[in-house]
Amino acid sequence: MVSTQVRRVSAQGLRSPKKAHLGSTAFNAKLFLDSTGLGRTVGRYAARETIFAQGDPAKSVIYIQEGGVKLSVVNEVGKEAVVAILRPGDFFGEACLAGQPVCMGTATAITPTTVLVIEKSEMIRVLHGEHEFSDRFIAYMLERNIRVEEDLVDQLFNSSEKRLARTLLLLARYGLPGHTQKILPNVSQETLAEMIGTTRSRVNFFMNKFRKLGFIDYDGQIRVNDSLLSVVLHD
């Protein structure tokens, strides 16, 4: 009995997608948001372009239509921590809804990205007016929360080696199925280090180790083999 619990936990964050009970998160929020109207604008960003910066006034929720976005926070000594990598269908900047006056982090496009910028007041209006949208948004927030809690637990428990393995697998999930899966090429070892809270040299060390063991392969693009799971699962 204990062992089944254990198995469940050690695979945390690696479960297959499950259906949400307040509605699937894969719905198209665009339907509710992009009919022409006040308080909604489209933004386009090139790779590496900043969507908003830490300290900017927080006044809009942003919905990703296409591309990818990195959410990060910068330290007093310039060290960067990556809080999340987001993709189409994800929201960010939603903290302003809770009254957060300024952005606590920086959002950067990692590939060419199209977003919908929804002003706070408009977002609240839609949340109030559209039941279905409100449900989906709650479901989305709940899942984000679960994901961040898993990341936190991962940090509390695991060595940087395991954290790297888990992060790679998580990123690989976005790739197409197959035995060796593609992972977005725009993740540098530096960024990986910032995601798992260690140094680039450590990431480099483990990446080479994983490669030697045949768990991953890379040459600009990183390919993750399912066997990498053994690193996460092992004692």
Partner DNA sequence: CCGGTACTGTGCAATATTGAACAGTCAGGA
Partner DNA sequence: TCCTGACTGTTCAATATTGCACAGTACCGG
List, in order, residues 6 or more apart from 17 with CB less than 8 Å away.
none
Contact between 24 and DNA by CB under 7 A: the answer reads no
- Maximum distance among all Cα pairs of the chain, rounded to whole angstroms: 55
Query: Which one of 38-46, 129-137, 179-187, 199-207 is the stretch in contact with a second copy (CB under 8 A)?
Result: 129-137
What is the 8-class DSSP label of residue 110?
Answer: S
Helix (H) or strand (E) holding 114, with range, is strand 113-119
The arrangement of strands across the sheet holding 50-52 comes to 50-52, 106-109, 69-74, 80-86
Contact between 154 and DNA by CB under 7 A: the answer reads no
Cα–Cα distance, 113 to 49 (Å, whole number): 9
Contact between 197 and DNA by CB under 7 A: the answer reads yes
Binder among 43, 125, 141, 204 for a second copy (CB under 8 A):
141
> What's the burial of 68, exposed, middle or buried (CB within 10 Å: 0-12/13-18/19+)?
buried
Binder among 100, 159, 221, 230 for DNA (CB under 7 A):
159
Contact between 205 and DNA by CB under 7 A: the answer reads yes
Contact between 208 and a second copy by CB under 8 A: the answer reads no
Residue 87 binds which one of DNA, a second copy, none, with CB within 5 to 8 A depending on kind? none
Q: Which residues bind a second copy (CB under 8 A)?
A: 1, 4-6, 8-10, 12, 18-22, 54-55, 73-77, 79, 81-83, 94-102, 104, 120, 124, 127-128, 131, 134-135, 137-139, 141-146, 148-153, 155-157, 194-197, 235
